[in-house]
Amino acid sequence: MEQVALDALSQIIPESRMFLDLAERYCYSYDASFGEYLPEVVLQPINVKEVSELVKLANVHKIPVSPRGAGTSLSGGPLPVKGGMVLDLTLLRDKLIIDRENMLAIVSPGVITAAIHKKAEEAGLFYPPDPSSSNVATIGGNLLENSSGPKGLKYGTTKEYVIGLEVVTPTGEIIRTGGKTVKNVTGYDLTRLIVGSEGTLGIVTEAIIRLIPKPQSRKTFVAHFNHFIDSGHAITSILSSGILPSSLELMDQACIRAVESYRPSGLPLRAEAILIIEIDGHPLAIEEEINKCADICRAKGASYVKIAESEDERDTIWSARKLVSPAITQMGPTKISEDATVPRNRIPAMMERLKQIRDKYELNLVVFGHAGDGNLHPNIITDKRNKAEMKKVELAVSEIFEAAIELGGTLSGEHGIGTLKSPYMEMELGINGVNMMKKIKEAWDPNNILNPGKIFPEKGQTKVVLVT
């Protein structure tokens, strides 16, 4: 970066929030995905004016800008792949207002998502998207990556709740999209365009989020299946019976075994699948619905069904699911976590394909995920220092995406495209589909400064490269 640009930056932001030394820059070179890219400078703006001025300057000097929150992305969204400046927005967190009458929240991007959950609940309201990183991740990151979590099945993803934004465009203007009304059909829906744009179209500096009434009650049960195909039938039967669970989670046999060898807790080693199902709503309704779901599981061949009768029993059921991450990382230090998503009736077919991929490449591949909405998390556990195996991982990852697309699904259900899935965009959208998106990007960001290297593949890039 030229000295003149650095001097100009220091006119905008004080020294205490501008980092040039190596250690600090390295601290913003990673996220929770894969890859390490060193930025030239890290800046911590604290208001929209600073963001706007920084971006204007970057646009003049053609400096790449990578916005980031807490860096929990699993797809490489915040990585400064072209160097330049990282904008750490975690200090932009002064606003968290709950508007009870209008059932909405007005938030700064650096606010932690769990803080919104907490504040909303205190007002008797509910913000449903619940990525597993919600205690860490910022709402700005969540909405630019369009994250969700187990509750996506019933409540949808982040985009269903964002109704208004304040955005700094790639040329540094401050614009507002949408507003405080649930109904808003004025012009193009820029709010929806920006949510999930992975920081390539704008930097969100304020968001208006829709809240809904808090469900009165919830109930959970677990079902074990000796045959995977039976669990698939149970899922489709439940969903077609008129019941909409708030979560419907799945663990495969490799997952069950990993958890059981990590912390023995009586999980069935012979089972090919475990389903965890939670229903929320009116206490009388959920009582009836949970029993009906349990009956369906039994009828479809579940070997064991247990409805939690207390909060402790509920915790025990969920703890198996929560132990998945620590359990699988015992198998190796590098975890490639995917979120290929298929129409839910194709889950058994997808599982079969994943099994074939696991056998073909002889990899540690386990699957868990949000089965109710078809959002599976195939995780490959490996060691990035083992280059030969990493080459196999690259091929396996390609095949996972191919399988998802062939089955009518999508590359990403909740992690975003980032750097890891960009090579496969054409596979899902076709060349014209990708070009249309590129035209939008070019119109918004003529100098390609905002989060370059994300979503769109580099020229000639056809598959993910994890090691060189």
Site residues, another protein (CB under 8 A) = 19, 21-24, 26-28, 30-32, 38, 44, 70-72, 88, 90-91, 112, 133, 135-137, 322, 325-326, 329, 333, 335, 383, 385
**Do the beta carbons of residue 18 and residue 45 sit within 8 Å?**
no
Q: 46 or 440, CB closer to another protein?
A: 46
Q: Of 152, 142, 176, 165, which is closest to residue 416 (Cα–Cα)? A: 142
Edge-to-edge, what's the strand order for the sheet holding 273-281? 302-307, 217-225, 273-281, 247-252, 364-370, 375-382, 334-337
- How many whole angstroms separate alpha carbon 356 and alpha carbon 362? 10
Q: 19 or 155, CB closer to another protein?
A: 19
- How many whole angstroms separate alpha carbon 438 and alpha carbon 19? 32
- How many whole angstroms separate alpha carbon 108 and alpha carbon 203? 11
For the bound state, the minimum distance from the C-beta of residue 368 to another protein, rounded and expressed in Å, comes to: 14
Q: 39 or 457, CB closer to another protein?
A: 39
For the bound state, the minimum distance from the C-beta of residue 380 to another protein, rounded and expressed in Å, comes to: 13
How many whole angstroms from its chain centre is CA 457?
A: 20
For the bound state, the minimum distance from the C-beta of residue 117 to another protein, rounded and expressed in Å, comes to: 13
For the bound state, the minimum distance from the C-beta of residue 30 to another protein, rounded and expressed in Å, comes to: 6
Cβ contacts of 359 within 8 Å, gap of 6 or more: none
Q: Are strands 273-281 and 125-126 parallel, antiparallel or unpaired?
A: unpaired
For the bound state, the minimum distance from the C-beta of residue 454 to another protein, rounded and expressed in Å, comes to: 18
For the bound state, the minimum distance from the C-beta of residue 96 to another protein, rounded and expressed in Å, comes to: 15
Q: 132 or 447, CB closer to another protein?
A: 132
**Do the beta carbons of residue 415 and residue 34 sit within 8 Å?**
no
For the bound state, the minimum distance from the C-beta of residue 453 to another protein, rounded and expressed in Å, comes to: 19
- How many whole angstroms separate alpha carbon 257 and alpha carbon 235? 22
Q: 124 or 326, CB closer to another protein?
A: 326
CB atoms under 10 Å from CB of 174, counted, come to 17
Residue entry with tokens 């001097």: 7
Q: 36 or 189, CB closer to another protein?
A: 36
Residues in the chain: 468
Question: Taking the C-alpha atoms of 339, 344, 346 and 347 in order, what is their torsion angle to the nearest 10 degrees?
Answer: 60
Distances (CA, A) of 14 to 20, 59, 83, 156, 425: 13, 20, 21, 41, 40
Q: 134 or 231, CB closer to another protein?
A: 134
Q: 19 or 401, CB closer to another protein?
A: 19
For the bound state, the minimum distance from the C-beta of residue 47 to another protein, rounded and expressed in Å, comes to: 15
